[in-house]
Amino acid sequence: MKPNLRVKIGSIELKNPVLAASGTFGYGDEYADLIDIEGLGGFVTKAITLLPREGNAPPRTVETPAGMLNSIGLENVGVEAFIAEKLPFLHGLETAVIVNIAGSTVEEYVEVTRRLSECDGIDGFELNISCPNVSKGGLAFGSSPETVSEVVSATRASTRLPLIVKLTPNVTDIAPIARAAEDSGADAISLINTLVGMAVDVQTRRPKLASVTGGLSGPAIKPVALAMVWKATQTVRIPIIGIGGILNTMDALEFLISGASAVQVGTGNFVDPRCTMKIIDGLEHFCEENHIAKISDLVGSLQLSTGGAG
């Protein structure tokens, strides 16, 4: 018998626990020729803001040891153009479509969520709270429990669709942030977004990114992500989606075992567009070989030593 890969994130039913991460999968159509996107558990769109955003000056990406830095700067078409031009392709896709939402003010998050909630074809929202909060001097919404509560409860009130709150790792302690998201009505938490990083060209003595600093992603951040996912699972009861440096089945399994109900693959799509497909096949294989009837049995199965062994 084939193992059951289905998982639930709030009320979103996923056919398998593997999603493509925001900003790495465009609006879905970019990868449609290369993989069967309906084979995915789901995918998260590039961040959508109220108005179109131009994004940052190039260079916007640079490779670093076992990872990369990016500073795209939330370039996107804006919510109205998204609805008119991008949503029709997503509508009716046999995979979960989650729209990533960003803003500079609480009102912007609310407005974008409200507008998108009027449309068909969206299975849920992911709030990107790594964005600078203009009214708090540019400090990220996700950096304090108070601002997290503020933006999550306001957005919660503006939609009935499932709300996933995506946490930034650039905080002192993830636990109170995760708790604030749960207490404010989040259906699930996803983490981690990118870590702040930087690279310098020693010949020209210039930063390698035009924006000086950027977001670090890829295998380099996987241990950090895993530790934060584990910490979050110890803190909240809502489902957790693990993100950070996942390139293969073993990486995905580490997150599931540590308590993530599902995972997202970001940079891995750039390395190999078939990355997600290979992981899905690999998870099925792993379950078969280990006689695991359903993948959800693996979630949170981390064995903590009680001191006896070794």
Ligand X SMILES: Cc1cc2nc3c(=O)[nH]c(=O)nc-3n(C[C@H](O)[C@H](O)[C@H](O)COP(=O)(O)O)c2cc1C
Q: Is-contact 126 155, C-beta < 8 A?
A: no
243 binds ligand X (CB under 6 A): yes
Which of 98, 265, 280, 287 binds ligand X (CB under 6 A)? It is 265
Q: How far is the CB of 194 from other proteins (least distance, A)?
A: 13
266 binds ligand X (CB under 6 A): yes
Total residues contacting ligand X (rule CB under 6 A)?
Answer: 24
54 binds other proteins (CB under 8 A): yes
Which of 7, 77, 122, 246 binds ligand X (CB under 6 A)? It is 246
Query: Could you confirm whether 287 is annotated as catalytic?
Result: no
Binding mask 11-40 for ligand X (x = CB under 6 A): ----------xxxx----------------
188 binds ligand X (CB under 6 A): no
Please compute Rg for the chain using Cα positions: 19
Q: Which does 59 bind (CB under 5 to 8 A by kind): other proteins, ligand X, none?
A: other proteins
Q: How far is the CB of 238 from ligand X (least distance, A)?
A: 18
Q: Which does 31 bind (CB under 5 to 8 A by kind): ligand X, other proteins, none?
A: other proteins
49 binds other proteins (CB under 8 A): no
Q: Which does 245 bind (CB under 5 to 8 A by kind): other proteins, ligand X, none?
A: ligand X
| CA gap 16, 310 in Å, rounded | 36
Q: Which is nearer to other proteins, 52 or 176 (CB)?
A: 52
Q: In sequence order, what are the beta bridge partners of 14?
A: 7
Peptide bond preceding 3: is omega within 30 degrees of 0, i.e. cis? no
103 binds other proteins (CB under 8 A): no
| CA gap 55, 226 in Å, rounded | 30
Q: Which is nearer to ligand X, 23 or 207 (CB)?
A: 23
> Which segment (55-63, 93-101, 103-111, 301-309) binds other proteins by CB under 8 A?
55-63
Which of 153, 274, 282, 300 binds other proteins (CB under 8 A)? It is 274
Which of 113, 193, 233, 249 binds ligand X (CB under 6 A)? It is 193
Q: Which does 224 bind (CB under 5 to 8 A by kind): other proteins, ligand X, none?
A: none
Q: Which is nearer to ligand X, 207 or 245 (CB)?
A: 245
286 binds other proteins (CB under 8 A): no
| Chain length of the chain | 310
DSSP string, the chain: ---B--EEETTEEESSSEEEPTTSSTTSGGGTTTS-GGGSSEEEPSPB-SS-B--PPSP-EEEETTEEEE-----B--HHHIIIIIHHHHTT-SSEEEEEE--SSHHHHHHHHHHHHTSSS--EEEEETTSB-GGGTT-BGGGSHHHHHHHHHHHHTT-SS-EEEEPPS-SS-HHHHHHHHHHTT-SEEEE--PEEEE-EETTTTEESSTTSEEEEESGGGHHHHHHHHHHHHTT-SS-EEEESS--SHHHHHHHHHTT-SEEEESHHHHH-TTHHHHHHHHHHHHHHHTT-SBGGGTTT------S---
60 binds other proteins (CB under 8 A): yes
Question: Could you give the residue numbers annotated as active site?
Answer: 131
Interacting residues toward ligand X by CB under 6 A: 21-24, 46-47, 70, 72, 100, 128, 166, 193-194, 217-218, 221, 243-246, 265-268
